[in-house]
Chains A and B, each alone.
Chain A
Amino acid sequence: GESVGLHLPTLSVQEGDNSIINCAYSNSASDYFIWYKQESGKGPQFIIDIRSNMDKRQGQRVTVLLNKTVKHLSLQIAATQPGDSAVYFCAENMVGAGSYQLTFGKGTKLSVIP
Chain B
Amino acid sequence: NAGVMQNPRHLVRRRGQEARLRCSPMKGHSHVYWYRQLPEEGLKFMVYLQKENIIDESGMPKERFSAEFPKEGPSILRIQQVVRGDSAAYFCASSNTGGLDTEAFFGQGTRLTVV
* A binding-site residues for B, Cβ under 8 Å: 4, 31-32, 36, 41-46, 49, 51, 89, 91, 93, 95, 97-107
Contacts and interface: CB of A to CB of B under 8 A. Distances in A.
Contacts, number: 71
Contacts of A97: 56
B98 A99 contact: yes
Contacts of B107: 43
Nearest to B107: A43
A50 to B, nearest CB: 9
Nearest to B55: A99
Nearest 8 interchain pairs by C-beta = A104-B42, A43-B106, A99-B56, A104-B43, A99-B48, A101-B45, A44-B106, A106-B42
Contacts of A32: 100-101
A1 B56 CA distance: 20
Contacts of B4: 43
B33 interface: yes
Contact of A103 (B40, B45, B106): B45
A49 B100 CA distance: 12
Given A43-B108, A99-B48, A101-B56, A49 B42 contact: no
A32 B93 CA distance: 17
Interface string B87-115: 00001010100111111111111000000
Q: Among B35, B98, B104, which residue has the most Cβ atoms of chain A within 10 A?
A: B104
